[in-house]
Amino acid sequence: MPLLTVSLGIVILFLLIIFFRLNAFISFIIVSLFIGFCQGMDLSLIVTSIEKGIGNTLGFLVMILGLGAMLGKQVADSGAAQKITIGLVDVFGIKNTKWAVMTTGFIVGITMFYSVGFVILVPLVFTVAASTGIPLISIALPMLAALSVTHGYLPPHPAPTALAVMFNADIGKTLIYGFIVAIPAIIISGPILTKFIKKVKAKPLKEFIAVKSFKESELPSMRISLFTALLPVLLIGLSTIIIEIIDENNTSFEIIKFLGNPVIALLISVLFSIYSLGILRGKEMKEIMLTFSNSITGITMVLLIIAGAGGLKQILIDSGVSDYIGTLLQFSNISPLILGWLIATLIRVCVGSATVAGLTTAGILLPIVQIGQVNPELMVLAIGSGSLMLSHVNDSGFWLFKEYFNLSIKDTLLTWTIMETTIGISGLIGVLLLNNII
């Protein structure tokens, strides 16, 4: 009965989002109520369980996602993203432009949400392609692959951060493992893939070329731009490495661990960006704070979707569904990592949203992680890889790419969909290889 209940719940989730076009947050709440009721939970306990799940999930995430959005917006609005693009193209040279924009997408994408990074960087890709004469798709796919991978694999992005919280995974280790898996995945699905994709003639629509472009004199320095964008990664990554080396009784252990906490690392980075990309550039505090306020509006719905998924997760736990599924899966011969990837892929194909796919899968497979049957950090990455698979017409990212590059649906499937699928497969292979090493 529990397995039938959760299966019906997922089907209802699909129907509500795909056919009835209902908001994902509302859909999650409805499905949570349905599963709780079918499992015989007391009506008052169903609501309490949903509230608990939402609270536990958002308590940590609100700070990370909020600060991450502020930093990403500051990097974009200050011209730092443009400076990084220009600087890397100069360093790599015209012949290696695709590698330059790929690196830009990776650096900027670490702290910038996918949709924001897309809107900011794609017009710059248009400019680079026009000035170098290189086919637009050959430059665009490497950059978008980098943005997509950071969105699916790396904290502080919403889905991987939420998965890490649900699985009680170490965010620092998730970030380090994510880097190890992400870099080969980006190279394979970016520069290498473009050599095999047939020539697709993309032509940007005029209205999408218009974006705020800074004069060279208005841009921050390359050093400041890179350091500010990468500061949270440096703090979290170095802290994770150092605390694995030094003794816990060392007087500096707690300080280093504190500085590497994702919330503290992002807070320090945001405060530093106020000076490095704001005050140092002659901006007034009022203007900087307006940038931060505008950044928050873009993550409101993301937070609600994650909150809804947190409510569903708690209902699965409190109703006994998770324990039942966990018991069944203990006897499965399929690797938990492959299973997580497969379930996330299935939900991604049906629903379209990578975030919904990842969070729903996490709720289903939580028992496996809790009993220590799989490395929680690698499970985050396996599910993240699956959640990016086979993007098609029910994914907003598919249409964003199609419209910006003025492509037919067929050509979008032959470029965007193949790129996303390559990312998902490469990610799974990387996770399985890493699982045999660590």
> DSSP string spanning 73-133?
HHHHHTTHHHHHHHHHHHHH-GGGHHHHHHHHHHHHHTTS-HHHHHHHHHHHHHHHHHHH-
* Total structural domains within the chain: 1
The kind and range of the H/E element at 328 are helix 321-330
pTM: 0.78
Is there a cis peptide before residue 142, judged by omega within 30 degrees of 0?
no
Tokens encoding 190: 């970016």
**Cβ atoms of 402 and 412 closer than 8 Å:** yes
* Series of mean pLDDT values for 10-residue runs along the chain (438 residues): 80 83 87 91 91 83 82 83 81 82 85 72 75 82 91 86 90 92 94 83 61 72 89 86 82 87 90 93 90 80 81 83 66 84 86 80 85 89 94 77 83 91 95 92
- Identify the pLDDT of residue 329: 62
112: left (phi over 0), alpha (psi -120 to 50) or beta: beta
Q: How far apart are the first and last CA of the chain?
A: 38
- Identify the pLDDT of residue 270: 93
Residue 81 CB neighbours (<10 A): 27
Instruction: For residue 418, give its domain range.
Output: 2-435
- Identify the pLDDT of residue 425: 96
Residue 44 CB neighbours (<10 A): 8
Distance CA 428, CA 184 (A): 11
Tokens encoding 160: 């991987």
- Identify the pLDDT of residue 298: 66
Tokens encoding 116: 């924001």
Taking the CA of residue 59 as centre, how many other CA atoms within 13 Å lie in the half-sphere pointing to its CB?
9
- Identify the pLDDT of residue 210: 43
* CA max distance for the chain: 66
**Cβ atoms of 359 and 398 closer than 8 Å:** no
Tokens encoding 375: 């490395």
Q: Find tokens 């011209």 and name the residue.
A: 79
Q: Find tokens 């996330």 and name the residue.
A: 344
Q: Find tokens 């609005």 and name the residue.
A: 77
Tokens encoding 173: 């280790």
Rounded to the nearest 10 degrees, what angle do helices 300-318 and 354-370 cross at? 30
Tokens encoding 295: 């950044």
CA 75 to chain centre: 17
Distance CA 253, CA 24 (A): 42
Q: What are the angstrom distances between the C-alpha of 213 and each of 10, 51, 83, 271?
A: 45, 45, 10, 25
- Identify the pLDDT of residue 422: 95
Buried b (16+ CB within 10 A) or exposed e, 125-163: bbbbbeeeebebbbbbbbbbbbbbbbbbbbbbbbbbbbb
Distance CA 252, CA 261 (A): 14
Distance CA 192, CA 196 (A): 7
